[in-house]
Structure 1
Amino acid sequence: MQKGIKRVIDIVLSLIVLVLFLPLWIIIAILIKVTSKGPIFFLQERPGQYREIFKVYKFRTMELGSEKMVKGQEVIGSDDRITSIGTFLRRSKIDEIPQVLNVLKGEMSLVGPRPERIASLDDYDEEISKRLNMKPGMTGLAQVSGNIYLDLQDRYKFDVYYVEHFSLLLDIKIIIRTIGVVIFGEDKYIDKCLVELNSGQRSTSV
């Protein structure tokens, strides 16, 4: 029942974002084109639920030829491959907005484990693979618990916890916390996790 409601919420909120932010999409598209060479969108294949491969949509924030990334290593704000407008898009998370198209297509959800690069699958064991039992999300438990400041294995633990303890209430908490992350930055939430991984008990703070 909860997963069915989750899908309805995904569709409704994604349509609202798509319509309300359409003028912003147009402005961002123009800024991307006039500040750097290359396409407006960045598409990359990622593993989704049950390892199904799909193409994730993002506004392009890096110079052409910057697609090669180090597995498990996040791009930080000081990376010189990031374009001038890309710095703002990444900091504000606006570069992720096109993923509402993935949500509408049923490939992603608003909340869930973030989709990783296909190469990361080689390192998955049985425990980590549990993160693939739900659709990947535009935001997730790891993203509001420190994200790039977390060790990769800790991010996996948050993802698995989310899958094993999924609830609409937890989704709401993550969405609320995501707003805080966008406003104040990921570093403000390094030691303010929504859940206690060691005890397995859920926190009530947002």
Structure 2
Amino acid sequence: MADFLFALLFVILLAPLFVIVALMLKIDSRGPVIFKQSRLGYKGDVFNVWKFRTMCDDAENQGTGLTTAENDPRITKIGSLLRKASLDELPQLFNILKGDMSFIGPRPAPAKHLKEYSHYEMQRLDILPGITGWSQVNGRNFLTWAERIPLDIWYMRNVSLKIDLLIILKTIKVLVLSEGVYSGRNDKEVQDANKKE
């Protein structure tokens, strides 16, 4: 209930910013304002996660697919700014209003990952995915997928108000410093990682 109320408050307060970002995206490049992708939710339910589009249209079927690097040519000018400020995640407030996500939890993985999950990895689906989470504030995209899983499961097993408050504080630091927006891997490493995921 708290997630819903806070998400609704933020949507109302940030409505002008939503409009400004949408206009900037339409002026900057062709394609839809909102990017949506099938992701894994609670207990493996599949839902569409929403983001402001930061790449050229149909980027998933070009270059390195789902994986991006800092100098990825598919990222638009406005998209680069949105990513650095993490403003591309704002539409996920509507995912929270729908009940698909929470503010805090494991980041929702692409739906294609489900068939590859081990019994251990399935545990990260025992809680709603979040906009930010324990792995997000402890490495974000610098972490490999295998490194994120134990952090997500640790959070799922140790959820508490104290930890959530710590995540919120660390999230503010990550956002202000634009930490971990990209993996830091070179193009070859990005391509290899994409093949594994």
1:156 is the counterpart of 2:146: no
Partner SS, residue 152 of structure 2 = helix
What corresponds to 1:57 in structure 2?
50
2:189 corresponds to: none
Identity of aligned residues (%): 38
- The secondary structure found in structure 2 opposite 1:64 is coil
Q: 3-state SS of the aligned residue for 1:186?
A: coil
What is the SS of the residue equivalent to 2:163? helix
| Residue identity in the other structure for 1:182 | L
The answer on 1:177 being equivalent to 2:170 is yes
Alignment-derived partner of residue 4 in structure 1: none
CA RMSD of aligned residues (A): 1.8
For 1:167, the aligned partner's letter is S
Distance 1:25 1:54 in 2: 22
CA distance in 2, matches of 1:68, 1:141: 30
CA distance in 2, matches of 1:133, 1:13: 23
User: Partner of 1:12 in structure 2?
Assistant: 5
The answer for the alignment partner of 1:197 in structure 2 is none
1:117 aligns with 2:85: no
Give the one of 9, 20, 24 matched to 2:17.
Answer: 24
Deviation at 1:76?
2.6
Distance apart, 1:187 and its partner CA:
4.5
Provide the TM-score with structure 2 as the length reference: 0.87
Q: Structure 1 residues 61 and 187, CA, compared in 2 at 3 Å: closer, same or farther?
A: closer
Letter in 2 for 1:174: I
In the alignment, the residues of structure 2 paired with residue 10 and residue 45 of structure 1 have an alpha-carbon distance, to the nearest angstrom, of 22
| Runs of at least 5 residues in structure 1 that lack an aligned partner in the other structure | 1-7, 191-206
Match of 1:96 among 85, 89, 98: 89
Indicate whether 1:37 and 2:30 are aligned. Answer: yes
Q: 1-side partners of 2:67 and 2:143: how far apart? A: 10
Residue 74 and residue 159 in structure 1: after superposition, are their counterparts in 2 closer, same or farther (change >3 A)? Answer: farther
Secondary structure, counterpart of 2:90 in structure 1? helix
1 CA distance for matches of 2:154 and 2:31? 38
The runs of at least 4 consecutive aligned structure 1 residues that moved more than 6 Å come to none
Partner deviation per Cα, 1:22-68 (whole Å, 9 max, x = no partner): 10000000000000001100011111000111111100000012024
Aligned positions of 1:102-141 closer than 5 A: 102-141=95-134
In terms of mean alpha carbon deviation, does 142-151 or 130-139 score higher?
142-151
When structure 1 is superposed on structure 2, of 167-176 and 126-135 the one drifting more is 167-176
Q: Is the 8 A contact 1:114 1:138 kept in 2?
A: yes
| Letter of the structure 1 residue corresponding to residue 72 of structure 2 | D
CA distance change for structure 1 residues 94 and 147 in 2, over 3 Å: closer, same or farther? same
Is the aligned partner of 1:76 residue 2:69? yes
Residue 26 of structure 1 aligns to which amino acid in structure 2? V
Unpaired segments of 5 or more residues in structure 2?
Answer: 184-197
Q: Which has the higher contact order (CA 8 A, sep 6+)?
A: 2
- CA distance in 2: counterparts of 1:89 and 1:125, whole angstroms: 34
Q: Per the alignment, in what secondary structure is the counterpart of residue 35 of structure 2?
A: strand
Partner of 1:5: none
Question: Which whole-Å CA distance do the structure 2 matches of 1:83 and 1:62 have between them?
Answer: 5
